[in-house]
Structure 1
Amino acid sequence: MAEATLLAGQGLLVASEQLAGLTITEKTPGDFVSEADVHAEKVIFDHLMQRFPDYGWLGEETQERPSREGGLRWIVDPLDGTTNFLKGLPHWAVSIALFQADDPLAALIYDPVKGEMFCAEKGEGAYLNGRAITVSQAVPFSAALVASGVPSGGRTTYLSHCLDDLEQLMPQTAGLRRWGAAALDLAYVAAGRFDAYWERNLGPWDIAAGMLIVQEAGGRFTPLWANRAVLSSGSFLASNGALHDAVEAALNRAEV
């Protein structure tokens, strides 16, 4: 798993120096995929499937493949933060998780630019480059640094919800970040860099690895709507635990 992540990440680093030559497709308004994404996913797929041929597969850029071994499946985002990558912004990552049905077992998020690998196994804690990490300690709401995503392009279903959230939370916190790479936002909650992060309508590959890493670092990760599984709704709140209820109470949790 780590080897596949490193191989894909190093290939993406090379591609990031040759952006002008990449073929780029706009899947939907504001949602891009490049040949670098596709190649990175193929590298990961080939590496993992050679070793675990009966595991299922769910990747952002390839067709889903059912599991033939006890519900075990990989959930992969080969390049989380594609728009950042294509604009030369050094904030993107490779994300891989191993699930059994809906239960996360292992996860890796690798940021090749900064040389940071966040990882976790169920029941074994969370780590950054081999060093144990934990979520931030309790802080006053006014000192909290939080993160979220704002819909762009054609993905405006929850735009009014997001604006409501910002109106409620921005005056109450020390600041809000919108950095465009969900996997890293979750990893930063796990490492204590952010105190909370929420978003709506993401893909399962955006969330799968980060949810386990946050939980193993001592944080809380909950769906925004209790009656909808987080991997299908793509809507969640992750936090250090201490601020969870306060942030949740401020969010617009109406379903659409």
Structure 2
Amino acid sequence: MWHTGPVPPPTTDTHVEGPGFDPASVLSDLHDAVDAVLAALAALEDWGPSGGRADQYASDVVADEAVHRVFDPAGYGVLSEESGLHPPRVDGAPTVVVDPLDGSTNASRGLPWCATSLCAVDDEGPWVSVVVDLVADTRYDAVRGWGARRDAQPIRRDDAPPLSEALVGLSGLPPRHLGWGQFRALGAAALDLCAVADGRLDGYLDCSEDAHGVWDYLGALLVCAEAGVEVVDARGRDLCVLDPEARRTPVAGAGPALTEALLEARQGF
């Protein structure tokens, strides 16, 4: 088990837990699921295509199976990119939105930018999340109303450069330069968004149209929100949607002015 350290007391969150599903226990279970993924991937020899759907790798399947071994016996619901929606097995259990291996193409090519992203959702939305860099084992976690952490240290973003000086993470290909200082296209939305939360990136812009499922961004969305970074949909839609068919276009800036500048820049395509 990964030791998360003391969890601060709740502030304004109004969540009422079901039996056995208090925030600290859920957070511990999410970290246990990440540990299971790390162990499963460490034993994996074939990182090539799974033989299932066209964009699925063997690592996706192995990671998904590892997550289910933790969540299914505990009664959680699961919405996974790889295995779809499984309702909760216990009354009061949250549903965990799972991307077992975000950036699986990177992983299959040996590019060191891939993650497991987990977000427990209750009736009020994203509640508890963990995102782990599977190469560096950097762990981000957040509990609604309690703050966000990187490797058990609190993170809070309170600086934002203008777009002309910003380092922006991109997904998809923009039609032209949109006015940023520099950009990076790294290939794992969950880690890209967490990098905005901890200050390594200043913004994130999805240049494609509705290419991301909720599993791609929801864990990082809560980390960002608790670190003071808002993640929005380019078309103004709700980003917390438990529908495996739904797709969204996430955009984030380190501050409201930068987020608005990115949205305005994107309007032209």
Fold shared by both chains (TM-score > 0.5): yes
Please state whether the residue corresponding to 1:226 is helix, strand or coil. coil
- Considering fraction of residues, name the structure with more helix: 1
- CA deviation profile, 1:181-215 (whole Å, cap 9, x unmatched): 11101111111111111224211111110111111
Distance 1:134 1:101 in 2: 26
Structure 1: gaps (5+ residues):
151-161
Higher normalized contact order (CA 8 Å, seq sep 6+, divided by chain length): 1
Structure 1 equivalent of residue 68 of structure 2: 45
Query: Per the alignment, do residues 63 and 141 of structure 1 end up closer, same or farther by CA in structure 2, a change over 3 Å counting?
Result: closer
Kindly indicate whether residue 36 of structure 2 is the aligned counterpart of residue 7 of structure 1.
yes
- CA deviation profile, 1:80-123 (whole Å, cap 9, x unmatched): 10100111111111111100146000111111311200110001
Query: Per the alignment, do residues 81 and 206 of structure 1 end up closer, same or farther by CA in structure 2, a change over 3 Å counting?
Result: same
Which of 222, 227, 232 is the matching residue for 2:232? 222
Which of 181, 185, 191 is the matching residue for 2:192? 185
Structure 2 equivalent of residue 66 of structure 1: 87
Map 1:53-202; keep pairs closer than 5 Å: 53=75, 55-67=76-88, 69-70=91-92, 72-101=94-123, 103-135=125-157, 137-150=159-172, 162-164=173-175, 167-169=176-178, 172-199=179-206, 200-202=210-212
Distance 1:224 1:230 in 2: 14
Query: Per the alignment, do residues 203 and 227 of structure 1 end up closer, same or farther by CA in structure 2, a change over 3 Å counting?
Result: closer
Aligned amino acid, residue 226 of structure 1 = G
Query: Per the alignment, do residues 47 and 58 of structure 1 end up closer, same or farther by CA in structure 2, a change over 3 Å counting?
Result: same
Please state whether the residue corresponding to 2:183 is helix, strand or coil. strand
Distance 2:252 2:120 in 1: 19
Query: Per the alignment, do residues 220 and 229 of structure 1 end up closer, same or farther by CA in structure 2, a change over 3 Å counting?
Result: closer
Structure 2 equivalent of residue 153 of structure 1: none
Structure 2 equivalent of residue 33 of structure 1: 57
Task: Assess if the C-alpha contact under 8 Å between 1:73 and 1:101 holds in 2.
Answer: no
- CA deviation profile, 1:47-74 (whole Å, cap 9, x unmatched): 12212x1x32111111311236357211
- Compare 69-78 and 97-106 and name the one that shifted more: 69-78
- Percent sequence identity over matched residues? 29
| Cα RMSD, aligned residues only | 2.2
Aligned amino acid, residue 233 of structure 1 = R
TM-score by length of 1: 0.82
